[in-house]
Amino acid sequence: MTPDRRPERRLNWSTAAKITTYTTICLFSFIANVNGSNFTVAIVPLTKHFHIGNNHATWLTGFNVLMFGLGNVIWVPLMRVLGKRPVYLIALIVFVAANAWSTRATSFGSLLGGRMIAGFGASAADATVPSAVADMFFLDQRGHCMMFFHFALSSGIFLGPLINAYVVQLHSWRTSCEWIGIAGGVIFVLALLLIREPQYNRERRQWPEDQIPAKRTYLGWLSLTVGLNRDKPVRRFLITFWDILCMASYPPVFWVGCLVGLFVGWTIVIQVTAAQIFLRPPYLWKLHSVGIFSISGWIGVVLSFYFGGKLIDFIANRARRHDHTIKPKPEKRLIALVIPFVLSPVGLIIYGQCMAHHTPWVGQAFGYAMHSFGFTAVSNIAVTFAVDCYQVYAGEALVIVFVIRNVIALVCSFYTNGWIGKDGLQSVTGTMAGLQWALLLVAVPMYLFSRQILSFTNTYGPMKRVHRE
């Protein structure tokens, strides 16, 4: 087959163009997740300021996380009409404005509204990103490149509490919203200058050597109309919205959402319980020490970088070479789940046992690192699996993945305080580790019956249109 050399095709961009665009998007993902975790370390100051209970204070995190998932129900259809670059710029404006609102909130209801809108703006740096990766990077690079997104996402979740613990202790919870808003403004300027439009809407065909279109200039790539699809935009928006709803019934998509959601939910619970337990006797830590404790989770993220990225590319590429095919085998990526299956739930049990028996902090830190290793690796492996299954509709599929993920995270943040108060952290973490193992084991039938499952989902919903065409 003749190589496709169209400069309009994002796969043919220069390395510099890909790196600057993707790095800026990952910076947005990082600050979006710092924003989601900024109040996990501020539970005590918030309860004192607004005269509310701990469970009530967790609403600020829970509803922010919920909007972080639901927001993509709007952003992804809008992306299909306007392109990705305008969506990122609009979302950053919303993000900065909502954080400015949060710094001036005088009531709990006003602050809750600000956090929800901030979560909505931040969500554009979530489900749209794997689709951008599929636009810019070749199949044999996808798992490794996706890991940079999940590294940025996880670093925001784990380093966010560290930064915000110092900010809240030295200043106030309002200042945490201020610096996040300023950081969002800086990233908006970078996005304005560096994010090229990854989305491609033109006819896909081979070009003869003498008919390849001229390269677009740098300023041309920064135009807000490069990704605009003028073909019945309202209808396209509504079709994309409907496609998102239909893909909730695709078993791989639903399973990935539940799997990632359970790990995200329990990461939030670990952060909230650490902030509550370490500030009380017998530990009596200062707030910044709770932030430093989150470094253990980030260490787990760093260690997972290879096992959740390069390893799954190696497995998938080797399988394609062995079978002499250029088509992806999504199920091959699931083999890499063996490593987090062994480590992550065990880490959760260690964390719960050490907290329940008030052991020195080292045990909790090891447990947290083990769970965080699994959280990042599982997220990247599972999400890359979903992207490979439904590459044409990667954005739509991941909206459902992240909606399910964030609904589960909301439920965890709402109800675990009461559950832990009733049964104890030791019992609760043991139960949740069992649930994680159970969901990870679903990878076995997903692997064995992948062809049958994908053939079945090709008979309805948006995938039916692909195969009809």
**Model pLDDT, residue 358:** 92
In the block, tokens 């400069």 appear at 7
| In a domain? residue 25 | yes
How large is the average pLDDT for residues 228-241?
85
CA-wise closest residue to 260 among 205, 337, 365: 337
CA 170 to centroid of chain Cα atoms:
30
Residue 383: pLDDT band (50, 70, 90) is confident
**pLDDT tens for residues 413-426?**
778 778 888 888 89
What does 167-220 look like in DSSP terms, one character per residue? HHHHT-HHHHHHHHHHHHHHHHHHHHHH-------S------GGGPPPPPPHHH
Structure tokens at 199: 């989305």
Q: Are 122 and 63 in contact (CB under 8 A)?
A: no
pLDDT tier for residue 210 given thresholds of 50, 70 and 90: very low
Q: pLDDT digit string (tens) for 352-370?
A: 999 999 999 999 999 999 9
Within 8 A by CB and 6+ apart from 198, the residues are: 10, 21, 84, 85, 131, 132, 135, 136, 227
pLDDT at 225 over 70: yes
129 closest CA partner among 306, 351, 384: 384
Tell me how far apart the alpha carbons of residues 380 and 182 are, in angstroms, rounded to a whole number.
Answer: 29
Note the pLDDT of residue 90: 96
Of residues 28, 30, 64, the one with CA closest to residue 46: 64
Amino acid at 396: E
Cβ(212)–Cβ(7) under 8 Å?
A: yes
Return the exposure string of 265-293: e unless at least 16 CB atoms fall within 10 Å of the residue's CB, then b: bbbbbbbbbbbbbbbeeeeebebbebbbb
Work out the burial of residue 469: count CB atoms within 10 Å of its CB; fewer than 13 is exposed, 13-18 middle, 19 or more buried: exposed
Taking alpha carbons only, the member of 55, 455, 412, 139 closest to residue 260 is 412
Single-letter residue type at 243: D
The answer to the question of residue 213 being in a domain is no
Q: Is 82 helix (H, G, I), strand (E, B) or coil?
A: helix
- What is the DSSP-derived secondary structure letter of residue 259? H
Asked if residue 349 belongs to a domain, the reply is yes
Name the band, by pLDDT with cuts 50, 70 and 90, for residue 1: very low
User: Within a domain: residue 210?
Assistant: no
14-48 pLDDT tens trace: 888 888 999 999 999 999 999 987 887 788 789 88
Cβ count within 10 A of residue 254: 15
**Domain at 55, CATH number:** 1.20.1250.20
Q: What is the pLDDT of residue 208?
A: 46
> What are the distances in angstroms from CA 104 to CA 97, 178, 221, 371, 440?
11, 10, 37, 36, 43
In a domain, 4, yes or no: no
Task: Name the region of 329 (left: φ>0; alpha: ψ -120 to 50; beta: rest).
Answer: beta
- Per-position b or e across 419-452, b if 16+ CB within 10 A of its CB: bbeeeebbebbbebbeebeebbeebeebbeebee
> What is the DSSP secondary structure assignment for residue 222, as one 8-state letter?
T
pTM confidence score: 0.80
- Does residue 206 sit within a domain? no
Long-range contacts of 108-114 (CB under 8 A, 24+ apart): 108/50, 108/52, 108/56, 111/50, 111/60, 112/59, 112/60, 112/63, 114/177
Is a pLDDT exceeding 80 seen at residue 308?
A: no
Using 50, 70 and 90 to split pLDDT, how confident is the model at 150?
A: confident
Share of the chain above pLDDT 90, in %: 34
Q: Mean pLDDT in the chain?
A: 84
Average pLDDT over residues 267-287: 85
Asked if residue 310 is part of any domain, the answer here is yes
* Residue span of the structural domain in which 125 resides: 14-201+219-468
Structure tokens at 429: 């973490």
Specify whether the CB–CB gap between 123 and 87 falls below 8 A: no
State how far the Cα of 202 lies from the Cα of 223, in Å rounded to an integer: 16
Q: Specify the range with the lowest mean pLDDT, choosing from 1-5, 117-121, 254-258, 337-341.
A: 1-5
SS3 41: coil
- What is the model's pLDDT at position 207? 40
Residue 351 is predicted with a pLDDT of 95
Q: Residue range 73-84: average pLDDT?
A: 90
CB 163 within 8 Å of CB 34: yes
* Res. 58 pLDDT band, cuts 50 70 90: confident
d(CA 114, CA 106): 11
| pLDDT over 60 at 202, yes or no | no
- State the burial class of residue 459 (Cβ atoms within 10 Å of its Cβ: 0-12, 13-18, 19+): exposed
User: Would you say residue 212 has pLDDT above 50?
Assistant: no
Is residue 5 one of the residues assigned to a domain? no
Gap between the Cα atoms of 259 and 438, Å rounded: 10
CB atoms within 10 A of CB 406: 29
Question: CA nearest 147: which of 126, 125, 124, 130?
Answer: 130
Q: Domain total for the chain? A: 1
Backbone angles phi, psi at 169, to 5 degrees: -70, -40
